[in-house]
Amino acid sequence: MPKKVDRQERRTLIADALMRVAAEQGLEAVSLRHVAAEAGVSPGMVQHYFRTKDEMMAFAMAVVRERGQIRVGDALARLGENPPPRQLLRTMIAALLPLDEQSRNDGRVALAFLAYTAVRPAAAVAVSEDTAELVDFIAGVVPGPAPREVAAGVLALMEGLGVYLLGGHYTPEQALGALDAHFDMVFHRPATT
């Protein structure tokens, strides 16, 4: 490790180690000692940067979210200016699905984090804020009645497709087929229901 490493870099280094452990062996393998070994630092060093496992998990999740935002930003940049709403949403959701190795690893961490926070709701606040923001954004893009309900459905569909992709229950083709069938409905539905 270089001599001068700032706090954020070291935290990221440790969070990366945590994610490798979680992605390869599952959340239950994540311990201070295990993460320290993976990162090549002492357990005391890990504890210096993350006082609790909750803190470590929350930081790892923040890294995963940031990577997701970067993937979305890159994919949208490739679309050029003012893409049609359907293409915009499809590109955004597809960029967030675990369809390649890096996003699968991130997805495993996200799923582990969701399972972790299902019994510790306080740790889920940041994710809840993200979710609400995404619902707002999607609601501004979908046409027709009940945009907030439709948007909440689009986001939940994404989450469910992600879970089934990670578990190997859906193939990438099935997941994208379900997504496209969903957008067929969202963007072709009658003006009143």
Chain contacts with a second copy (rule: CB under 8 A): 23-28, 30, 107-108, 111-112, 114-121, 124, 127-128, 131-132, 146, 148-150, 152-153, 155-164, 166-170, 174-175, 177-182, 184-186, 188-190, 193
Whole-number minimum distance, CB 7 to a second copy, in Å?
A: 27
Our CB check for a second copy shows the closer of 92 and 162 to be 162
Quick one: which of 87, 110, 118 has its CA closest to 165? 110
Residue with smaller CB distance to a second copy, 59 or 183: 183
CA 38, 66, 175 angle in degrees (round to 5)?
A: 95
List C-alpha distances in Å: 108 to 60, 62, 68, 140, 166: 12, 14, 13, 29, 7
- Judged by CB, which is closer to a second copy: 44, or 167? 167
Pairwise CA distance, residues 72 & 57, whole Å: 23
What token pair was written down for 86? 């359907």
* Helices and strands of the chain, counted as H and E runs: 9, 0
Residue 19 is classified by DSSP as: H
* CB 2, CB 34: distance < 8 Å: no
Cβ-based nearer residue to a second copy, 70 or 146: 146
| Residue (82 or 192) nearer to a second copy, CB | 192
SS3 content of the chain, % helix, strand, coil (to 5): 80, 0, 20
The smaller minimum CB distance to a second copy, of residues 26 and 84, is found at 26
The least distance separating a second copy from the CB of residue 105, rounded to whole angstroms, comes to: 10
Task: Quote the least distance from Cβ 115 to a second copy, whole Å.
Answer: 4
